[in-house]
């Protein structure tokens, strides 16, 4: 992030080997913003809403061959009209840029609250626009994924028994959350993944961000209930061998 005169410039990037047209980038942004925010943020016209609150309002899209750009015209999160938001398809990836935006929040509060959410939502949206093909590697077999998970659960349960003898369930949940968030965001490998030779990656092959790791962890109960990898679908991640 760059900050100058009360206005910010922010960039997010993911790797991609297939070009995406400006028209597709325009359509996919508003189509997927609800999905990547689990329905919390909804597009209406050229604006983004949280319930009845208009968060950001954009001008008409300026569509070019390989990019789309919107002028930022207002909304609850903007202190004043001005600035631009755009998504561009380059030879090696997709880039989302915000330039000249004036947030309503003071810089310190913006950097600690709105900015991390901005990075997470834009990264998930870019990964969704990129798609899951080509795959980032050879998918791990379901049996090895289950074995790795069993090893990690046993490890977390053992640690919880040591550190939380009187509140083992609470200790287990805390240990499991911290363990998985750290392992996934730092290297993509848990101890179970290391033993079974597999790792978690973003669908562009990069290391998952902390935000992606958090989304993946929160969605795991849904994946168990549905017996389908919805946690990876929503978090923009995959588990590959190696």
Q: Is residue 86 part of a domain?
A: yes
Give domain status of residue 61, yes or no.
yes
Same domain assignment for residues 126 and 12: yes
- For 13, phi then psi, to 5°, come to -145, 140
* Host domain of residue 36: 2-130
15 torsion bin: left (phi>0), alpha (psi -120 to 50), beta (else): beta
Residues 10 and 103 in one domain: yes
Same domain, yes or no, for 151 and 125? no
CATH of the domain at 50: 3.30.530.20
What pLDDT score does 224 carry? Answer: 87
Residues 181 and 231 in one domain: yes
Residues 121 and 150 in one domain: no
Same domain, 149 and 125: no
Q: What is the pTM of this model?
A: 0.93
Q: Tell me, what's the pLDDT at 126?
A: 97
Domain count, the chain: 2
**Pair (103, 169) in one structural domain:** no
Render pLDDT for 109-154 as a digit per residue (tens, 0 to 9). Answer: 999 999 999 999 999 999 999 999 999 999 999 999 999 999 999 9
pLDDT tens-digit readout, 37-59 = 989 999 999 999 999 999 999 99
Q: Are strands 84-89 and 93-101 parallel, antiparallel or unpaired?
A: antiparallel
Strand partners, 88: 67, 95
Is there a single domain that holds both residue 200 and residue 229?
yes
3-state SS string over 34-87? Answer: HHHCCCCEEEECCEEEECCEEEEEECCCEECCCEEEEEEEECCCECCCCCEEEE
């Amino acid at each position: 992030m760059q900050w100058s005169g009360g206005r910010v410039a922010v960039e997010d990037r993911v790797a991609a080997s297939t070009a995406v047209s400006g028209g597709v980038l325009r359509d996919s942004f508003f189509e997927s913003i609800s999905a990547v925010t689990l329905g919390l943020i909804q597009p209406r016209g050229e604006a983004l809403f949280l319930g009845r609150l208009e968060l950001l309002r954009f001008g008409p899209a300026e569509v070019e061959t390989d990019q789309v750009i919107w002028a930022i015209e207002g909304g609850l999160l903007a202190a004043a009209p001005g600035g631009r938001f755009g998504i561009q398809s380059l030879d090696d990836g997709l880039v989302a840029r915000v330039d000249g935006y004036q947030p309503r929040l003071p810089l310190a509060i913006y950097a600690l609250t709105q900015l991390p959410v901005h990075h997470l939502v834009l990264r998930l949206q870019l990964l969704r626009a990129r798609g899951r093909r080509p795959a980032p590697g050879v998918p791990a077999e379901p049996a090895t994924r289950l074995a790795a998970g069993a090893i990690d659960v046993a490890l977390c349960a053992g640690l919880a028994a040591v550190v939380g003898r009187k509140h083992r369930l609470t200790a287990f949940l805390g240990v499991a959350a911290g363990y998985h968030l750290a392992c996934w965001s730092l290297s993509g490998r848990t101890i179970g993944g290391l033993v079974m030779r597999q790792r978690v990656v973003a669908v562009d092959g990069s290391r998952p961000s902390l935000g992606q790791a958090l989304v993946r962890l929160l969605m795991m109960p849904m994946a168990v209930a549905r017996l389908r990898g919805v946690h990876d679908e929503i978090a923009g991640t995959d588990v590959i061998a190696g």
